[in-house]
Structure 1
Amino acid sequence: MKIVAKPIGVVSWTDVNGNINPVRFRITNEDESYSVIKIDKIICVDKEKLAGNNMLVYKCQSAIDGVEKLYEIKYEFNSCRWILFKI
């Protein structure tokens, strides 16, 4: 996987215990168009502390352009931002 570290917009839902479950995300392409990617499977969720920022790391799998790909998205608690970290 290659590190891209791009900000993304995510649609997610939260259960009664406060667990965040991402459903799909939107990323900006090089030509300023948008691509929406549905998250087919969440493989695992880990907690990480990077430079003093607490984050949730989601390892996911989706069909992107007809090819199954693995990637990581991160949720930063302090700023409430989502990042596509690796793809």
Structure 2
Amino acid sequence: MKVLATPIEVLAHFETNCRPRPLRIKYKEKEFRIAQVVSTAEEKLAGNRMLVFRCQSEIKGELRPFEIKYELNTCKWLLWKM
């Protein structure tokens, strides 16, 4: 996977414990449905708390893994690896 670190738009559902669950992402004017969230972890990057979601989505007919991050302080989403 290639590191991209690109800001993206995400459609997410926030559960009662205030944790987001991503449903769709928009990258380069294309929208992708997240087929599965494989794992979720919390990390600190440069002192900023982030949630890391390792996901899978069908892209060009193949199920491909990618990683998105949600910055808790600024509520921004990043496409980290694809």
**TM-score, normalised with respect to structure 2:** 0.96
Q: State the structure with more CA Rg.
A: 1
CA RMSD of superposed structures (Å): 0.7
Q: Percent identity?
A: 41
**TM-score, normalised with respect to structure 1:** 0.91
Equivalent residue for 1:4? 4
Q: Does 1:80 align with 2:61?
A: no
Q: Does 1:48 align with 2:58?
A: no
Mind listing any 5+ residue stretches in structure 1 that lack a counterpart? 29-33
Q: 4+ runs of 1 displaced by more than 4 Å?
A: none
How many residues were matched structurally?
82
Distance in 1 separating the partners of 2:7 and 2:60: 20
Distance in 2 separating the partners of 1:78 and 1:14: 16
